[in-house]
Chain A
Amino acid sequence: MEPKVLPSLQSGSSLAVSAKKRRKWNVDHWLSFAFILPSVIAVAVFVYGFIAWSGYVSLSNWNSLVPDLSFAGLKNYLFLFKDFRFQADLRNTLFFTLFFILAVLFMGLMLAVFLDQKIRGESLFRNIFFFPMALSFVVTGVIWQWLLNPATGVNLFLKKIGLDSLWYTSVTVIPGIQWSKIQFGVPVAVIAVVIAAAWQMTGFSVAMYLAGLRAIPEEIREAARMDGAGEFQIYRKIIFPMVAPITVSVVIIMAHISLKIFDLIYAMTGPGANFVTDVPGVYMFETTFRGNYYANGAAISIIMLLSVAIFIVPYLISSRKGES
């Protein structure tokens, strides 16, 4: 950029300049609309418009190969909430999301603190924890399906220490309280999927926490040390509270990934015996494209959307407010 010399403002022309500036601003103002208009229209149609269209399909009778958009009311939704498979899906998603987020937060914070100890080969370790994020969920699913199989692998070690190697395929639900059609509780088999998902996504929280830790000025720690605080105390009393806002971001991002998860489970366990590892994403795909139940599938997708929106909308609104 060539540096321009500002024309010194003469007292007489100041009015003219500001008028010119205003007109210029107006043109640019309209141009700025033009810049973002294509994107705004695209998102309006392809996100909001299509969601509305899916919503409409979910209220229709289109449950065969031939489209039938006659109005069916809430029939498809009522069917789902009485459906064993969908009830199981809701339970599985709840516990999958819960454990997945806890695992990612715990492992992420732990590894980030480890890596923050000025260790040797830090970048090597960091890369080892980050690289799974560059893989596709399909690849992850295929590999972990191999690794966790009851007849082999990790489970052979578990067997040696006397643990049941059948947890991967277990249909046990703990504690298994009868609730509507399903047993409510933690499906043991979901843990396998949690391990694979956490393996892939931990890098995200490590990166987030590490960035947070690095942003804390060394002086703060120094000052605390001067006051006689031990390393653990420094973390507990000073550092962890400072990185707490990061936790919120990580939770939101992980929650939306886990609520709409599809490819990992599709490639890894499938719906599972008695639907212990089924999730709405898999059910939607199978019922829509295998069974041709388009309206049912649309209803599932709308419920998925709502469950994500419960997390995301308040977050988006609050981050908007925090900014302005």
Chain B
Amino acid sequence: MAIRTVSRTVLYLLLIALSLFYLMPVYVMLITSLKPLDQISLSEMWQLPHSLDLSSYQLAFEKLAPNFMNSIYLVIPATLLSALLGSLNGYVLSKWKFRGSDWIFTALLFGMFIPYQSILIPLIQFLREAGLYNTIPGLIFVHVVYGIPITTLMFRNFYASIPEEMIESAKIDGAGIFKIYQHIIIPLSITGFVVVGIWQFTNIWNEFLFAVTITTSSQQPIMVALQNLSGSQIVQWNVQMAGALLAALPTLLVYIFLGKFFVKGLLAGSVKG
């Protein structure tokens, strides 16, 4: 029993030490954001601020507010549309399989792993031709298209757990593809929608490469605006850190309140274990 107590203690100590390690960056981000600029230097970064200074938050908020709204306008439709498409695809590819449907699925999945650099140059050319360059609808479009693989995968895995007999018996009752989707699949996929929604929300919110190359100035989402806080020649670290916290807030909140679903999404998105 003594060994057990000792090893339990060691276990807790280890866990606490590792937790501190994982929290350390947040500590630095917090204290830096609360300092005035002249107290910020590399050699003082660990010290608590001499006095509380919220002005960097005010400044960061002033600058980021419009882009924050851009991100909202971007993330919500993009998340919903890609979840809807994913649900349809997942439904067909799990419950209405046809010859070659598995290969189509595999071909779709590949799109999830490509480095987006490999389509960036044609994509920008295309968006310009279509008049969607530098618009939020353009960015929504991009995220919906490149979100198809992951949302399809998640829904397909999710629907795989719906027993085949339910579908079969509905078919025997004369229900068609629409009816089954409407009356069986949709009511059963609320959790699926929440999981996929949270996943897409987080990803699109945090995305940088598309955002920085497709939108400019007033159309930019928050992550690019965060970079912009650094200005062209002078970096205000306190404002940058305050901005980083503000920009991370929605995804952090989602994580704090709906973390369970976030983790579910994580597991669902990992192809097949």
Q: Please report which residues of chain A, range 45-84, place their CB below 8 angstroms from some CB of chain B when the two chains form the complex.
A: 46-51, 53-54, 57
Task: Give a binary string over B262-273; 1 marks a CB under 8 Å from any A CB, 0 the rest.
Answer: 110011001111
Q: Hey, which chain A residues are within 8 Å of B148, CB to CB? A: 39, 42-43
Q: Hey, which chain B residues are within 8 Å of A51, CB to CB? A: 114, 118-119
A273 within 8 A of B: no
Say which residue of B11, B172, B254, B267 sits within 8 Å of A208 (CB atoms): B267
Say which residue of A46, A134, A308 sits within 8 Å of B113 (CB atoms): A308
B52 within 8 A of A: no
Distance between Cα atoms of A54 and B103 in the complex (Å): 24
A40 and B42: CB pair below 8 A? Answer: no
Distance between Cα atoms of A136 and B172 in the complex (Å): 49
Task: Give a binary string over B141-157; 1 marks a CB under 8 Å from any A CB, 0 the rest.
Answer: 00001101100100000
B110 and A312: CB pair below 8 A? Answer: yes
B121 within 8 A of A: yes
Least Cβ distance of A293 to chain B in Å? 11
- Total interface residues on B, CB under 8 Å, equals 94
Least Cβ distance of A176 to chain B in Å? 29
Q: Hey, which chain A residues are within 8 Å of B19, CB to CB? A: 125, 128-129
B223 and A43: CB pair below 8 A? Answer: no
Which of A29-37, A97-105, A217-225 lies at the interface? A29-37
Q: Hey, which chain A residues are within 8 Å of B117, CB to CB? A: 260, 262, 281, 284-285, 297, 300-301, 304
Q: Hey, which chain A residues are within 8 Å of B231, CB to CB? A: none
Distance between Cα atoms of A66 and B233 in the complex (Å): 29
B209 and A304: CB pair below 8 A? Answer: no
Which of B59-67, B72-80, B89-97 lies at the interface? B89-97
In the complex where A152-B43, A152-B45 touch, is A316 in contact with B110 (Cβ < 8 A)? yes
Q: Please report which residues of chain A, range 91-147, place their CB below 8 angstroms from some CB of chain B when the two chains form the complex.
A: 111, 114-115, 117, 119, 125, 127-140, 142-144, 146-147
Interface centre among B24, B92, B122, B205 (most CB of A within 10 A): B122
B115 and A134: CB pair below 8 A? Answer: no
A322 and B248: CB pair below 8 A? Answer: no
Q: Please report which residues of chain A, range 1-42, place their CB below 8 angstroms from some CB of chain B when the two chains form the complex.
A: 1, 4, 6, 21, 24-25, 27-29, 31-33, 35-36, 38-40, 42
Task: Give a binary string over B228-242; 1 marks a CB under 8 Å from any A CB, 0 the rest.
Answer: 000000000100110
Q: Hey, which chain B residues are within 8 Å of A284, CB to CB? A: 117
In the complex where A28-B176, A42-B145 touch, is A136 in contact with B223 (Cβ < 8 A)? yes
B54 within 8 A of A: no
A158 within 8 A of B: no
- Which 3 residue pairs are nearest across A and B when measured between Cβ atoms? A260-B115, A136-B206, A50-B119
Supply 9 further A-B pairs (C-beta < 8 A) apart from A6-B172, A147-B24, A312-B113. Answer: A40-B104, A42-B145, A131-B256, A134-B252, A139-B244, A143-B28, A309-B110, A316-B109, A319-B272
**Residues of B near any A CB (own CB < 8 A):** 8, 11-12, 14-15, 18-19, 22-26, 28-29, 32, 42-43, 45-46, 85, 88-89, 91-93, 96, 98, 102-111, 113-123, 126, 145-146, 148-149, 152, 171-174, 176-178, 183-184, 187, 202, 205-209, 213, 223, 226-227, 237, 240-241, 244, 247-248, 251-252, 254-256, 259, 262-263, 266-267, 270-273
Q: List 28 A-B contacts (CB under 8 A).
A: A6-B173, A25-B171, A31-B176, A33-B98, A36-B88, A36-B92, A39-B148, A39-B152, A43-B107, A50-B122, A50-B126, A53-B121, A114-B15, A119-B15, A128-B23, A130-B262, A130-B263, A133-B262, A153-B45, A199-B22, A207-B267, A245-B273, A260-B115, A301-B117, A301-B121, A308-B114, A309-B110, A313-B110
